[in-house]
Structure 1
Amino acid sequence: MNIVHSKIIEVIQLEPQVFADDRGFFFEAYNHQKFAQQTGSVVNFVQDNHSYSKQNVLRGLHYQIQQPQGKLIRCVVGTIFDVAVDIRKSSATFGKWVAYELSAENKRLMWIPPGFAHGFLVLSEIAEVLYKTTDYYAPQGDRTILWNDPDLAINWPLNAPPILSAKDQAGKPFKTAEIFD
């Protein structure tokens, strides 16, 4: 597995070694020992999530103030623009964001440790996203930052207005969001 560090050193893209031939392909999507060796992160994933979304659906920017979750994300159908925003006040990269295109075709994964808000935009007709989390979902600690907050200035590759849930429409501005110290 090849590791690509982003401008926020803790957020990484993983490029698996894919073995393909005329029958199809095989790759190891996750190996606990190799992940720890290559990233320096010893994590214990406790939950797997699977989402299905249509084109132009934008989910996020989500995070939890209780039981913050690290996420290992991959897109198994279609293509997404996946975003991580550093919401750790004590971080040198506080308020900065990074994004990668994840797709069924490129088979790349994105590791987002706890302390980041996460969101994605579906670029293809449909997308299915699988992600592992390091802690359980805690609805009482669930928070959302506005996807289009001008202070974050995320450059979403939109071709049409995004399709948002009521929760995402009601997200808080970054300046007033309840975040980590």
Structure 2
Amino acid sequence: MGISGLIPFLFILEFLAPPALLAPLQPICDPRVMDKYILEAQQADQDIGTVCASSCTLPETVQVPDTKVNFLEWKRMTRTRQASEVWGGLALLLTALSQTQERPPASPPSLQEQLARMSSTLLSVKEILRSVNAEAEARQPDAAPAAPPAAPARTVEKLLSVYLNFLRGKANLYITEACRSYAR
């Protein structure tokens, strides 16, 4: 195949190659992804009242991240400190969910399904955070103390509330700002 046969071959190959192979991978920065997770968490938070008519007390207290956000303080934090708080909070939530799933409260199967969805969503958020380098930034020497601020949770309602606040608070703030810096 001489040079005259190579050019049409390369031209055809360009159209047949999947687009992902032609472009470098980019972090997941579509805000609709986090919006979807937040909306699902809000719906679950509203539905938990009917699922846990009396109370869904956990067999043991679990530690969850403190989700309060002081926006002025957050803006003054370094990116590494923010990453550390988000990454540490994510780890606490994943551990709390794992403990809850291992020893679930006496509750209807719909609660077990909700806990599984929450775990799945947090694993997806973990991948988004990895794609915007949160894990690497959280491991920087100036990131933050080893343990993020935590609080105890004794009920599924509290766990779900912290989950929702984490998604729409620190996680969303961090991802949004990371994506803006990629766009610059």
Q: TM-score range by the shorter chain?
A: under 0.3
Bigger relative CO (Cα 8 Å, ≥ 6 apart): 2
**TM-score, length of structure 1 as denominator length:** 0.23
- Relative to its length, the structure with more helix (as a share) is 2
- Relative to its length, the structure with more strand (as a share) is 1
- Larger Rg, first or second structure (1 or 2): 2
